């Protein structure tokens, strides 16, 4: 129990350092929960600005709804989201989700997110093209459900901080945070966003260690000298 308390305190100290440096991230930037879902699917392997362009195009054409996406021919949908990269594959993923959403939950977000978290997570992982990071982003950022999202930035940052090896799995990372942090949706929301900000700005493959807000915590042998 004492070790768990120490780890929680360390994780919270890391979080406070990130917030002090980056400020609250106010993530996910969207006008609705449905838009978050679309954005989470489109965000796979692409910069967010490209996702925003695709969502704006759909919105301007009145196509940002489950029915509109479901009924739009696949090639037309792919053309609208061309900026999001791998757009043909992502069009198929969007359509697969919309079919699932309609058949299982009648296009109702309230019905969707009223399900037990574990049950809904399993169902979403069964939808074509939805992996753990996308599903967990939907659960946390669209559904306000207590699921901690991890990604490649999480693996890199916390490996360099000495928490785990470079080959840690998604499930192992997620369980670590959910075991040691308070069950708090706003905390999960912003903590993940802070990690992304750090990974994007400083803790890159070729890191910028000099001004990193977590320099005092870093255990990485490849850390740049000041």
User: What confidence score (pLDDT) does residue 32 get?
Assistant: 97
Residue spans per domain, the chain? 2-26+148-217, 33-142
**Per-residue pLDDT tens digits for 47-104:** 999 999 999 999 999 999 999 999 999 999 999 999 999 999 999 999 999 999 999 9
DSSP class of 215: G
**Per-residue pLDDT tens digits for 136-154:** 999 999 999 999 999 999 9
Report d(CA 116, CA 67) in Å as an integer: 25
Report d(CA 130, CA 125) in Å as an integer: 6
Q: Is 138 helix (H, G, I), strand (E, B) or coil?
A: helix
The CATH code of the domain at 2-26+148-217 is 1.10.1670.10
The CATH code of the domain at 33-142 is 1.10.340.30
Q: Do 33-142 and 2-26+148-217 have the same topology in CATH?
A: no
Query: pTM score, two decimals?
Result: 0.95
User: What confidence score (pLDDT) does residue 42 get?
Assistant: 98
List of residues 6+ apart from 43 with CB closer than 8 A: 51, 84, 134, 137
pLDDT at 225 over 80: no
């Amino acid at each position: 129990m004492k070790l768990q308390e120490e780890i929680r305190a360390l994780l919270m100290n890391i979080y406070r350092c990130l917030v002090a440096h980056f400020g609250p991230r106010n993530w996910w930037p969207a006008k609705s929960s449905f838009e978050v879902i679309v954005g989470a699917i489109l965000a796979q392997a692409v910069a967010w600005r490209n996702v925003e362009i695709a969502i704006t195009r759909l919105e301007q054409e009145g196509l940002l709804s489950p029915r509109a996406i479901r009924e739009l021919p696949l090639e037309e949908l792919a053309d609208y989201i061309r900026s999001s990269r791998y757009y043909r594959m992502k069009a198929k993923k969007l359509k697969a989700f919309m079919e699932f959403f309609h058949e299982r939950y009648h296009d109702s977000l309230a019905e969707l997110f009223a399900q037990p978290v574990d049950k809904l997570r399993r169902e979403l992982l069964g939808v074509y093209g939805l992996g753990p990071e996308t599903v967990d982003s939907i659960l946390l950022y669209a559904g306000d459900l207590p699921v901690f999202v991890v990604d490649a930035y999480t693996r890199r940052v916390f490996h360099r901080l000495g928490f785990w090896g470079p080959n840690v799995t998604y499930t192992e990372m997620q369980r670590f945070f959910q075991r040691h942090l308070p069950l708090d949706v706003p905390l999960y929301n912003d903590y993940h966003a802070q990690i992304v900000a750090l990974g994007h700005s400083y803790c890159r493959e070729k890191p910028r260690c000099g001004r990193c807000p977590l320099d005092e915590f870093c255990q990485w042998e490849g850390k740049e000298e000041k």
